Amino acid sequence: MTSVAGQLRPAEAPSDGVQIRHLRTHAEFVACVELQAATWGAGFSERVPATILRVSQRLGGVTAGAFARDNTLLGFVFGITGLEHGTIVHWSDMLAVRSGMQNHGIGRRLKHFQCESVRKLGATRMYWTFDPLVARNAHFNLNRLGVRVSEYVPDMYGADTGSVVHSGLGTDRFIVVLPIASEVAEAPRGSGIADTLVWNIRHAPILNEATAEGRTVNLSRFDADLPPTVRIEIPPDISRIQSASSAQAAHWRVTTRLAFQWALANGYTVERFERDGADGFGCYVLTLAAFIAPPSGA
């Protein structure tokens, strides 16, 4: 069985009747555009039109949907295939699952279908983006799919896309990469250093630490010595904060942006995402590439 990064395995034959396949008819492509509006709002300026969704498939792109028994579109994934330094790669541009159908494995099944489709074309890796402030996406991408964070891009899609989802937050994104395995499954990323991480997380400083005045990013304290592991906290539900206070949501964006940019520039790698910490926040765990396990008995 082929898998991707040891995490993205095909779902068992679904008992729910959901079928994952390429979109075929004009009506299905139109339904995909409508689902974009339902997901990101009617004013979302980055919607991909039905024509592009359809034409891209002729050139190795993927527009696939999850369909219920009555042929209702429950979710979709869209991406384009191209060359990077002479190597075939795929960029997964959009993934959406209809409200009420989330947390049922549909997103994972769509990603697997997409990955298998481009693997057959000779693609060696897939790229996509996600918002570092969205905890559920951090868990899904890092812990379930096993992606690697390659870059942090401020306002990748502009400061205002017209979507209520992005209002006041901008569009800072992680660019992540998922190597596509060709024959054998790889071990889940980070599995070989799990015990080391557990030991070190207890001692890892939080880069955007909480104070009485709010979140503070004081990176000068690490000028003399970089800790082997650091943490960056995010709220459990940024959309709830965004609805209550745009200023507070924007503060989360500013402090996490500073923390991530500093950490990646100083050689840290995003290893995994921890949910529901002791203080109620989730946290990213980042380690230095040259990190060595602590001495036994420590």
Question: Do 271 and 212 lie in a common domain?
Answer: yes
Question: Do 174 and 219 lie in a common domain?
Answer: no
Q: What is the mean pLDDT of the chain?
A: 84
List pLDDT tens digits, range 184-220. Answer: 334 444 444 555 556 567 779 999 998 877 889 999 9
List pLDDT tens digits, range 223-246. Answer: 889 999 999 999 999 989 988 888
Question: Do 42 and 150 lie in a common domain?
Answer: yes
Question: Do 174 and 197 lie in a common domain?
Answer: no
Question: Do 204 and 165 lie in a common domain?
Answer: no
Structural domain count, the chain: 2
Share of the chain above pLDDT 90, in %: 61
- What amino acid occupies position 20? I
Query: What residues make up the domain containing 269?
Result: 191-288
| CATH number for position 140 | 3.40.630.30
Question: Do 200 and 259 lie in a common domain?
Answer: yes
What confidence tier does 144 reach under pLDDT thresholds 50, 70, 90? confident
Question: Do 104 and 200 lie in a common domain?
Answer: no
Question: Do 36 and 98 lie in a common domain?
Answer: yes
Question: Do 109 and 32 lie in a common domain?
Answer: yes
Judge whether 67 lies within some domain. yes
Residue 3 is predicted with a pLDDT of 28
Cβ-in-10-Å burial (0-12, 13-18, 19+) of 247 comes to: exposed
Checking if the pLDDT of 83 tops 50, the result is yes
List pLDDT tens digits, range 6-15. Answer: 344 444 335 5
Checking if the pLDDT of 153 tops 70, the result is yes
Question: Do 198 and 76 lie in a common domain?
Answer: no
Residue 81 is predicted with a pLDDT of 96
Judge whether 298 lies within some domain. no
Checking if the pLDDT of 183 tops 50, the result is no
Higher pLDDT, 67 or 42: 67
